[in-house]
Structure 1
Amino acid sequence: MAIIKHAMRQTLGQLIGANNPVVTVPDDSQRQYAWSKKEVDTYWADIQKFRTARATGREADSEYFIGPIVTIVDEHKKGRSLLDGQQRLTTSTILIAVIRDILWRMGSPESRATANNMQRDYIARKAGRREPMEYFLALSLFDRDFFRDFIQDWNETSGSARGSEERKRPSHKLIQEAYSNFESKVTGELAVFPDEDSRLDWLDSLYECLIQGLVFVEIQTPTSSDANEVFETINSRGKDLSTVDLVRNFLMEKSSEESSKQRVNDTWRVLLDNFEKREEIERFLRHFWVARHGDVKSHSLYAAIRGELSRDFSKIPQVYSPKAFAAELESASLRYVDLIHCSTGVEEFDSALLDIKALGADALHPLLLAASERNDYAQLQDLIEACLSYYVRWTVIGTRESTVLEENIFGVAKEFSGGAGCSSIMRRVCSWIPDNDTFQSAFEEASLSKPSQARYILTKIEGKLRAEADIDDVFPVGSARVHIESIYPPQPAPQIRLDEHEAWVHRLGNLTLLSGRRNPELMNLTYPEKSHQYEGSTLLVAASTGIERLWDSEREQWSRQGIRARQAEMAKIALELWPDAGAWS
């Protein structure tokens, strides 16, 4: 059970301020800034509701409880180490900085004096001319320098922060976006006031709500182990904490040596620097674990990792350590970045990775991650092509249970990690690919309502047609210049509307690609009125696949049989694009 020294009510002004112990986010236990626009907008809405209620003067509305925070208080050290509450305190500091900067830009002696006082009281100050800057909230090593440069190191003469630190991580972008978001909201609120006095009053009201009205419960613990236990308990009952953050905290807790903690931190730097979004890191961690241990759902991933690693780390003699796990995680992350960014350097393999990206076939990544640990990418070309055929035939066109495909792929990924050879895994994957008769029959009836999948299928057919026509130029089918068109229109005139309209609009035989700007005026016309855009198209999937069959000129009606006929011909092309197991026998 965790030891709790104190649990006390604290306003924001009592947590971060010149007369209070500095709050420091320790390097070995906390995540980087993670609030996106959604969380910042919710925070702002809550503050606005509270400010309005507080203005009524009712005692019940005088404070707004924003949640607990967890700190580590060591009697032999100054300040407090913050384990839980970083997002709220960082966001609050950003909003204070926005108020400070807007006050300065107002330009009056009163507004600038207030801005300077705000900076010194609740953001940062120097105790003396030659003393170092004291920061009332010190973030962890991942965000510390950027946050100081962008928010805290503010010049009272120029009224601006330094702004010289390079933005390196997703969290840095989120800090900037939170600032811009608040700046836009506050500026918008001030626009309705006719004079400076009214604007100063409104800013003062907002500032006072933050400093005196926001209330936390600070839970003080004596050790990081106690704090971690409280931290996990709180976050398991509220908004989910990132699995990546929980895993890092766990590894730091299990690292008994400084070199081990440093190795974990080095790995997390690599993760934060190489992935563009936090969601990508979360997905990587799950796929890394799945590749070694088989399927596990996102909501139970941390429990699975903690349980398995706890057993491994506690074995005597210890043969597996947090340092070793961190090293493996870092190595795998570099390969995973190559996979999701299609940047392995092997042209044919990267082209197949682009197909996976276009389809959103993330379920294939654990197998490729496991396979790439002991094989060159060029050696995996047959495997990735077989996986694509399996995915298209089973999921996209066959519309069969995607969970079955995932279980199969995750299972062989685990086998690969366990030492299975590429040839045996290849045989397993090929055995799951639906045969030609099944695939052709499904393709002839397929409807695709997902634009990304429809675009992918049509793009591959276009490529096949251009290759057969010996056309060398590469048309940018993936660009904004190319759009998907329903030949039989989504909103036809009532007299030419087909029965079971919805069933025919998304049929593959009714879809094509067109280049140029989409023309809504042409979209819903009859075929004769818009035939020129197909006949004159530079894309063969529009000009050379018998689109004219979709119109019955004698009856002046759209033709179901024409859609079927065109789709049947496309199905024959698809058999070559996504072959059955015989292609690799």
Structure 2
Amino acid sequence: MAIIKQAARQTLGQLIGANNPAVTVPDDSQRQYAWTKKEVDVYWADIKKFKTARDSGRDSASEYFIGPIVTITDKKVSTRSLLDGQQRLTTSTILIAAIRDALWNMGSTEGTSTANNLHRDYIARKAGRREPMEYFLVLSLFDRDFFRDYIQDWNESTGRCPGIERPTRPSHKLISEAYSNFSSKISMELSSYSDDEERLDWLDGLRECLINGLVFVEIQTPTSSDANEVFETINSRGKDLSTVDLVRNFLMEKSRSEAEKQRVNDAWRIILDGFEKREEIERFLRHFWVSRHGDVKSHSLYSTIRQTLSDDFNKIPQIYGVGAFAAELEAASTRYIDLINCSTGNNEFDASLSEIKSLSADALYPLLLAASEKTNYAELQDLIEASISYYVRWTVVGRRESTLLEEKIFGAAKSMSTSARMDFTLRQICDWIPDDEVFHADFTEASTPKTSQSRYLLGKIEEALRVRAGVDEVVVANSSVVHVEHIYPQKPSLETRLDEHDAWVNRIGNLTLLNGKKNQSISNLSYSHKSSIYEESMLLVASTTGTSRIWDVEKDWWRVEGIAERQRDLADLALSIWPSGKQWS
């Protein structure tokens, strides 16, 4: 049971004010800045609504409770380490900086003076000319330098921050985007006022709302273990967003030496620098765990990791420790980045990875991650091709239960991480692929409402048609100048609308590819008016459609049996594009 020294009401000004001990995010805990435009917009809307109510003078609108924060404090509360609340305090500081800069940019003596005072009181100051800068909010090592350079190291003479540091991590970009977002919103608000006096009053009202109206409950704990327990209670209940941070905090808690803590930080630095988006890091962590332990759902990922690793770390003698896990996680992250970015350096394998990306077949990554630890990418070509055939035949075309595919793939990944040989796993995948008879039947009836999957299927068919015709192969699946076209239109006129519209509009036989930007007015024409566009197309999947079998010229009406006939022809071709397991037996 966690020990709580006290839970005290604190305004924002009391938390990060100049006369209070600095709030420091310790290097061995806490996540990086993670609020996107969505969270920043909600925060701004709440503050703006609060300001309007507060300006009305109602007692009920005098404070706005923004939630609890968790700190580790010493007996005299001379130091405060922040374990939970970083996002809200960081965002609040960014908004204060945006107010500061808006005041300075007004160009008046009062605006400049108020900006300087705001900065010294709630962002950073120097006690003396030769004294070091005192920062009232100190972020962890992953964001500290950038936050200082972009928000806190403000020059009172120029009204600017150095801006030397480049945003190299996702969190850095989010910090700069939050600042730009706030600056734009403030500028828009100020544009509605006619003179500087009104603008100064509005900015001062916004400042006062933040400093004196924004209220937290600071939960003070004596030790990091107490703080961690409170932090987990607040954050771990079904919140996928904090899984990565909870895992890092847990590893720090279990570290037995400073060297182990440094190993965790080194691994996290590599991970943070390698991924462009935070969601990718969350997905990697789950796929890494799945690749070694089998399926686990996102909502229970942290509790599963904590329980399993606690059992391993607590064994006497300890065979597997924090350092070993951190090293494995780091090594896996570099391979995972290669997989999702299609950048392994093997052209054939990267082309197959591009197919997985086009299909959004994320379920295949744990298997490839496990396999890539055992051998080089060139030797994984048969495995990735068989996996893609399995995914297309089972999920994309067959529309069978995707959870069954995931269960099998995740189980195969776990087996490969332990003892299974590559040839055994490949045979497993081949045995799971629906046979030609089943696949052909599925394909002749299949609809693909997802444009990305339709583009992928038609792109592969186009490649096969060009190979069969002996013409130069072209890449079309991901081309920005090629779009998916509905032959029988998505929005036909009332005169040409089929009674069974929904049954036919997304059938594969009703889809083709066309060059050029999609033109809605052309797309919704009847076939007789646009058939020449298909016949003149450089793409064979369009030019070989066949006017007579899709549109009955005499009856001036659609031939749905022609769509079905075309789909059967495409099904014949699909058998060789996505082979059965016999291909690799």
Within the alignment, does 1:169 sit opposite 2:143 as a pair?
Answer: no
AA aligned to 1:302 is Y
**Does the Cα contact within 8 Å between 1:154 and 1:160 map onto a contact in 2?**
yes
How far apart, CA to CA, are the structure 2 residues paired with 1:239 and 1:27? 22
Q: Which residue of 2 aligns with 1:503?
A: 503
Moved more, 233-242 or 107-116: 233-242
- CA apart distance, 1:239: 5.7
Q: How far apart are the structure 1 equivalents of 2:186 and 2:243?
A: 34
Which position in structure 1 is the counterpart of 2:90? 90
Partner amino acid, structure 2, of 1:539: L
Q: After superposition, give the CA deviation of every residue in 1:369-428 in whole Å (9 maximum; x if it has no partner).
A: 111111111111111111000000000000000000000000111111111101111111
Report the equivalent of 1:222: 222
Aligned length: 585
Q: Distance in 2 between matches of 1:476 and 1:493?
A: 30
1:305–1:153 Cα change, 3 Å? same
Pairs within 5 Å for 1:65-214: 65-75=65-75, 78-214=78-214
Q: Does 1:48 align with 2:48?
A: yes
**CA distance in 2: counterparts of 1:547 and 1:342, whole angstroms:** 39
Kindly tell me: are residues 554 and 241 of structure 1, through their superposed partners in 2, closer, same or farther at Cα, counting changes over 3 Å?
closer
SS in 2 for 1:484: strand
Partner in structure 2 of residue 556 of structure 1: 556
Distance 2:235 2:421 in 1: 42
Q: Distance in 1 between matches of 2:205 and 2:238?
A: 30
CA distance in 2, matches of 1:293, 1:542: 46
Q: 1:277 matched to which residue of 2?
A: 277
Q: How does 1:256-275 map to 2 (within 5 A)?
A: 256-275=256-275
Q: CA deviation at 1:441?
A: 0.6
- Conserved 8 A contact 1:483-1:513: yes
Q: Show CA shifts across 1:215-254 (max 9, x none).
A: 1111111110010001111124596551000000000000
- After superposition, what is the alpha-carbon deviation per residue over 1:503-532, rounded to whole angstroms, capped at 9, x for unaligned? 111010110111112222222212221122
Q: Which residue of 1 is the match for residue 301 of structure 2?
A: 301
Q: Which moved more, 1:189-198 or 1:469-478?
A: 469-478
Does the 8 A contact of 2:490 with 2:505 survive in 1?
yes
Amino acid at match of 2:80: R
Structure 1: runs of 5+ lacking an equivalent: none
Matches of 2:156 and 2:491, distance apart in 1: 62
- Alignment partners' CA distance in 2, 1:375 and 1:454: 33
Distance 1:495 1:210 in 2: 61
Question: Is the Cα–Cα contact under 8 Å of residues 547 and 566 in structure 1 kept in the other structure?
Answer: no
Partners of 1:334 and 1:454 in 2: how far apart? 31
Q: Residues of 2 paired with 1:240 and 1:194: CA distance?
A: 46
Corresponding position of 2:443: 443
- How far the C-alpha of 1:75 sits from its partner, in A, is 3.8
CA distance in 1, matches of 2:51, 2:203: 11
Pairwise CA distance, 1:27: 0.3
Q: Does the CA-based 8 Å contact 1:371-1:413 persist in structure 2?
A: yes
Question: In the alignment, what sits opposite 1:576?
Answer: 576
Equivalent pair of 1:446/1:508 in contact (CA under 8 Å): yes
Shift of 1:545: 3.5
Residue deviations 1:43-79 (CA, integer Å, cap 9, x gap): 1111111111112222221011111111111248942
SS at match of 2:125: strand
Aligned with 2:517: secondary structure?
coil
Deviation (angstroms), 1:476: 4.5
TM-score by length of 1: 0.98
Aligned to 1:312: 312
User: CA contact under 8 A between 2:123 and 2:152: conserved in structure 1?
Assistant: yes
What's the TM-score, normalizing by structure 2?
0.98
Return the alpha-carbon distance in structure 1 between the equivalents of residues 548 and 55 of structure 2. 69
Contact 1:339–1:365 (Cα < 8 Å) also in 2:
yes
Aligned residue number for residue 367 of structure 2: 367
Q: In structure 1, how many angstroms separate the alpha carbons of the residues matched to 2:424 and 2:460?
A: 29
Instruction: Write the deviation string for residues 151-208 of structure 1: whole angstroms up to 9, x where unpaired.
Output: 0011111111100102110000000111111111111111111111111111111100
1:27/1:141 contact within 8 Å kept: yes
Letter in 1 for 2:231: F
Q: Is the 8 A contact 2:482 2:515 kept in 1?
A: yes
Distance in 2 of aligned mates of 1:582 and 1:551: 39
Distance in 1 (CA, whole Å) between partners of 2:176 and 2:547 is 50
Structure 2 CA distance for aligned equivalents of residues 349 and 240 of structure 1: 31
Q: Is the 8 A contact 2:236 2:302 kept in 1?
A: no
Distance 1:547 1:570, change over 3 A: farther
Which residue is equivalent to 1:455?
Answer: 455
**Alpha-carbon deviation of 1:475?**
4.4
Are the structure 2 counterparts of residues 320 and 237 from structure 1 closer, same or farther at C-alpha, using a change threshold of 3 Å? closer
Matching residue of 1:29:
29
Q: What is the Cα deviation at residue 480 of structure 1?
A: 2.0
- Cα distance in structure 1, aligned partners of 2:479 and 2:457: 15
Amino acid at match of 2:118: M
Give the residue type in structure 2 aligned to 1:544: T
Alpha-carbon separation, structure 1, partners of 2:238 and 2:542: 52
Aligned to 2:255: 255
Structure 1 pair 238–57 and aligned structure 2 pair: CA distance change class (3 A): farther
SS of residue matched to 1:188? helix
- Is the 2:22–2:79 Cα contact (8 Å) retained in structure 1? yes
Query: In 1, are the aligned partners of 2:240 and 2:299 still within 8 Å (CA)?
Result: no
What is the one-letter code of the residue matched to 2:232? Answer: E
Rounded to whole Å, the distance in 1 between the matches of 2:484 and 2:62 is 56
* 8 A Cα contact 2:24 2:82, kept in partner: yes
Higher mean Cα deviation, 240-249 or 121-130? 240-249
Structure 1 contact 4–219 (Cα < 8 Å) conserved:
yes
Aligned to 1:8: 8
1:553 CA drift (Å): 1.0
Offset at residue 363 of structure 1 (A): 0.1
What secondary structure is seen at the aligned counterpart in 2 of 1:7?
Answer: strand
> Which digits, 9 at most, give the CA deviation of each residue in 1:103-145, with x for residues without a partner?
1111011111111111111001111111111111000000000
2:472 aligned counterpart, secondary structure: coil
**Could you give the per-residue CA deviations for residues 243-275 of structure 1, whole angstroms, max 9, x where no partner exists?**
000000000000020000000000000110001
Do the aligned residues in 1 keep the contact of 2:467 with 2:473 (CA within 8 Å)? no
Q: Distance in 1 between matches of 2:240 and 2:360?
A: 25
2:389 counterpart letter in structure 1: S
Alpha-carbon separation, structure 2, partners of 1:376 and 1:78? 54
SS in 2 for 1:414: helix
Letter in 2 for 1:421: R
Matched letter for residue 187 of structure 2: T
Is 1:341–2:341 an aligned residue pair? yes
Shift of the 240–357 alpha-carbon distance from structure 1 to 2, 3 Å rule, reads: closer
User: What does the per-residue CA deviation read over 1:334-360, in whole Å, with 9 as the maximum and x for residues that have no partner?
Assistant: 111111111111111111100000000
1:538 corresponds to which residue? 538
Please say if residues 236 and 242 of structure 2, whose CA atoms lie closer than 8 Å, have aligned partners that are also in contact.
no
- CA–CA separation in structure 1 for the residues paired with 2:371 and 2:225: 37
Q: Label 1:423 to 1:239 Cα distance change in 2 as closer, same or farther (>3 A).
A: closer
* Alpha-carbon shift at residue 474 of structure 1 (Å): 2.6
| 2:484–2:512 contact (8 Å) kept in structure 1 | yes
Amino acid at match of 1:242: S
SS at match of 1:15: helix
Deviations 1:264-296 (A, max 9, x none): 000000110001111111111101111111100
Could you tell me how far apart the structure 2 residues matched to 1:281 and 1:128 are? 43
Answer with 515-524 or 201-210: which moved more.
Answer: 515-524
The answer on whether the counterparts of 1:235 and 1:241 sit within 8 Å (CA) in structure 2 is: no
| Matched residue, 2:244 | 244
- Cα distance in 1, alignment partners of residues 56 and 348 from structure 2: 67
SS in 1 for 2:349: helix
Deviations 1:427-447 (A, max 9, x none): 111111001010001101111
Give 2:39's aligned residue: 39
Once residues 429 and 559 of structure 1 are traced to their aligned partners in structure 2, the CA distance between those partners, rounded to angstroms, is 39
Counterparts of 2:411 and 2:425, CA distance in 1: 10
